[in-house]
Every structure is written in structure tokens, then in C-alpha cells.
Amino acid sequence: MPISNDVLTRNNVKVIGTGSKTLMLAHGFGCDQNMWRFITPVLEKKFKIVLFDYVGSGSSDLSQYDKERYSGLEGYAKDIIEIGEALQLSGAIFIGHSVSSIIGTLASIEVPTLFSKMIMICPSPCFLNFPPDYLGGFEKQDLLELLNLMDKNYIGWANYLAPLVMGDNNPSELTGELSSSFCSTDPVVAKGFAKATFLSDYRHILKDIKQPTLIFQSKNDSLASPEIGRFINENITGSELEVVEADGHCLHMTHPEQITNSIFEYLNK
């Protein structure tokens, strides 16, 4: 078992804020903990907040990247579990963006005491289409081609997914800011994370979530449609769905006030 200090350094863990309850904020693919900065100033007044970068993202320790471990989302879930152990977390509230909602779910199933509530922002348990029952948005060929284009274009991965997560109609300054310096991901790792994210199918684990769950979905999101939100809502007992009138895949950045208000309301119930 890794030593706790090593885990905290490895995942660039930051603990901020004060409060009796702890929130763990988990960033999505192609980004790092900085993506939470629009909502942390408000949240940290009432909660203790745990921020971190998955191994390979942001300022994590890249030397700890293990191709095999991180070939599936379970490896990333281990990061969450190990951070939870290092900080001795129990009954914390998990907030995950996009794929992290699924990663957090895997962690909550593995260690049921870790989280007492789950909050998912624009989640998708599967990006593949399985018509007619489930439409994740992409055919396998599309996703393989996407991964293939990542190989063929020698580009700065820091910029990856920027406007898509922001949505087409969001101000270009915001998109520009995000794409220039907001997120940092190693190219080699990004490919592995992309594979684990886009080619996985975790629809079957939703029914195993025992925690009350709040799902935010954007009305217009190229990566996760409101239908996917409804599918998740139907498959998690005791979950609530809030479809936000918005564009893009990054509601906590484009609509921070609405998201934090809903979070407060949900946690005060």
C-alpha cells in the first residue's frame, strides 16, 4: 500500500476551506483541478474541499504513471480510494465532472463508506451508441478515429477538448482561457485516459450506487445529452436529475452560480 504522503504528493492533493463536511472534487478528462476554480471560492466558505489531479494530469507526479493501472477507469478510481485513505475520509461528498462521475462511482462501490452523497456534473456512463435502447452519441468507428487522430496530430494536448467542454455559444474569452493555460495533460497519458474514457461501458454499475445522487446535465452538450442524464437518473435509485438550460459540457465553469446554489440546496435537504 502506498504511503499516505506519497499519495498526496503523487496526486497533487490540496485541501482548502473549512467546514464539518468534506467535498472531494474530481476533474474530468483533459483537465486538472484548476477547472474547479469558479466554484471553489463559494464552496470553501462552508465546506472542507479536497482537490487533486489524477496521475498524468495537471501537476501530478508523472513518474507514477503505470500504463496497465490506468488502462481502465478502475485505475483512476484507485487514485480516489488511496487519497481517501491518506486523508482518512469517510462519508465525504463526491463531486465529479464528466468521466470522473463514473470513476467516483467505481470508488464508492469498492469502498462504500468513502462517500455519503454523489454529485455528477455532465456524466456519461458510455459514449457508444447501442440503438435503440441507448445512444451515447458516438459510433465505435468515430471514437476509434478520434483516438487515431490524436496519434496523427502532433499537438499540444493542454488544449484538448476546450471548446467542446465549454460549448459553442460560450464567450470566446472563456474558451481561450481554458485552452491556453487552464488544463494540463501529458500527451502519452491523455491517449490512455481517452481510451479508458471513450471506449468504456459502465452502464451496468449505476444500479450499484447506494448513495443519494444529484445529476447535472446540460441541455446542449455534444458529449453527454439530456437523454443520457435521464438514463442515469432511471438507473440510480434515489437520484435526482437537474437539466440546466445551457450549452457545453462544463457547467461548473460556465454556470458556477447555478451549480453552487443547487449543490447547497441539495446538501441542505
Residues that bind other proteins (CB under 8 A): 1-3, 5-6, 138-139, 142-143, 145-146, 148-149, 151-153, 155, 159-164, 168, 172, 175-176, 178-180, 222
Which one of 97, 249, 252, 255 is the catalytic residue? 249
Q: Which three cell numbers stand for residue 28?
A: 474530468
Indicate if 249 belongs to the active site. Answer: yes
The pairing of strands 22-26 and 92-97 is parallel
Which one of 98, 100, 200, 262 is the catalytic residue? 98
Pick the closer one to other proteins by CB: 151 or 268: 151
Which one of 101, 221, 225, 252 is the catalytic residue? 221
We find the least distance from the C-beta atom of residue 249 to other proteins, in angstroms, to be 10
Pick the closer one to other proteins by CB: 43 or 246: 246
Question: Look-up: residue for cell 460556465?
Answer: 254
We find the least distance from the C-beta atom of residue 155 to other proteins, in angstroms, to be 6
Q: Which three cell numbers stand for residue 227?
A: 437523454
Indicate if 97 belongs to the active site. Answer: no
We find the least distance from the C-beta atom of residue 150 to other proteins, in angstroms, to be 8
Indicate if 221 belongs to the active site. Answer: yes
Give the Å distances, CA to CA, from 42 to 25, 141, 211.
14, 42, 24
SS3 call for 89 = coil
CA–CA distance, 100 with 126 (Å, rounded to integer): 12
CA–CA distance, 104 with 73 (Å, rounded to integer): 10
Catalytic residues: 98, 221, 249
